[in-house]
């Protein structure tokens, strides 16, 4: 029998071990939504039965005023998709992601790379000249 060290065991631990990508596979979210729908339907049926029992006994229905208030914590289907950061289907049938932060375009990324490369080349090839010019400017300004 071969002994396995703690380090060898930890090599197998990754994000899947902790369940971070369980929702990304597209299996668990529909199951949770179906369970939530059934659970809500059961609660509504239970509430209706209790309400009918109260009305049959002749009790007043005092909760009507509370029902008219808007539930600010209710989550609709459209909101849950946007908050999750993706939509179920895109143009090609693939998942479509919504960015909640500004994402640079491909052209902006290319321009930033060109600027960075220019700065690297200037520092590499023109550093002595630029240093001499800056020293002269400092001397003339009295720094």
Q: Residue 3: inside a domain, yes or no?
A: no
For residues 77 and 134, state if they share a domain.
no
**Alpha carbons 91 and 95: distance in angstroms, whole number:** 9
Tell me if 129 sits within 8 A of 136, measured CB to CB: no
Q: Residue 112: inside a domain, yes or no?
A: yes
For residues 22 and 82, state if they share a domain.
yes
Q: Residue 50: inside a domain, yes or no?
A: yes
For residues 74 and 24, state if they share a domain.
yes
Q: Residue 77: inside a domain, yes or no?
A: yes
In sequence order, the 6+-apart residues with CB closer than 8 A to the CB of 22 are 28
Q: Residue 58: inside a domain, yes or no?
A: yes
The number of distinct structural domains making up the chain is 2
pLDDT of the residue at 135 = 78
Of 55, 71, 94, the last residue of a domain is 94
Q: Residue 99: inside a domain, yes or no?
A: no
Q: Which residues pair with 100 in a beta bridge?
A: none
Helix (H, G, I), strand (E, B) or coil at 26: coil
Cα distances from 15 to residues 11, 26, 53, 69, 85, in angstroms, run 12, 17, 50, 42, 19
For residues 60 and 86, state if they share a domain.
yes
pLDDT tens-digit series, residues 45-95:
999 999 999 988 887 766 555 555 677 666 666 544 444 444 445 555 667
Does the pLDDT of residue 1 top 70, yes or no?
A: yes
Q: Residue 5: inside a domain, yes or no?
A: no
For residues 111 and 80, state if they share a domain.
no
* pTM exceeds 0.85: no
For residues 19 and 41, state if they share a domain.
yes
Identify the band that residue 121 occupies on the pLDDT scale cut at 50, 70 and 90.
confident
Which range marks the domain in which residue 76 is found? 13-94
For residues 112 and 83, state if they share a domain.
no
**Alpha carbons 64 and 40: distance in angstroms, whole number:** 19
């Amino acid at each position: 029998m071969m002994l396995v060290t703690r380090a060898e065991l930890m090599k197998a631990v990754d994000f899947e071990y902790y369940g971070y990508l369980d929702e990304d596979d597209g299996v668990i979210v529909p199951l949770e939504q179906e369970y939530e729908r059934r659970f809500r339907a059961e609660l509504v049926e239970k509430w209706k039965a209790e309400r009918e029992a109260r009305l049959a006994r002749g009790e007043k229905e005092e909760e009507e005023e509370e029902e008219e208030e808007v539930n600010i914590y209710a989550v609709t289907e459209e909101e849950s998709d946007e908050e999750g950061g993706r939509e179920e289907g895109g143009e090609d049938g693939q998942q479509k992601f919504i960015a909640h932060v500004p994402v640079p375009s491909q052209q902006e990324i290319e321009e930033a790379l060109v600027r960075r490369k220019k700065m690297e080349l200037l520092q590499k090839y023109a550093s002595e000249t630029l240093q001499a010019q800056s020293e002269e400017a400092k001397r003339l300004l009295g720094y």
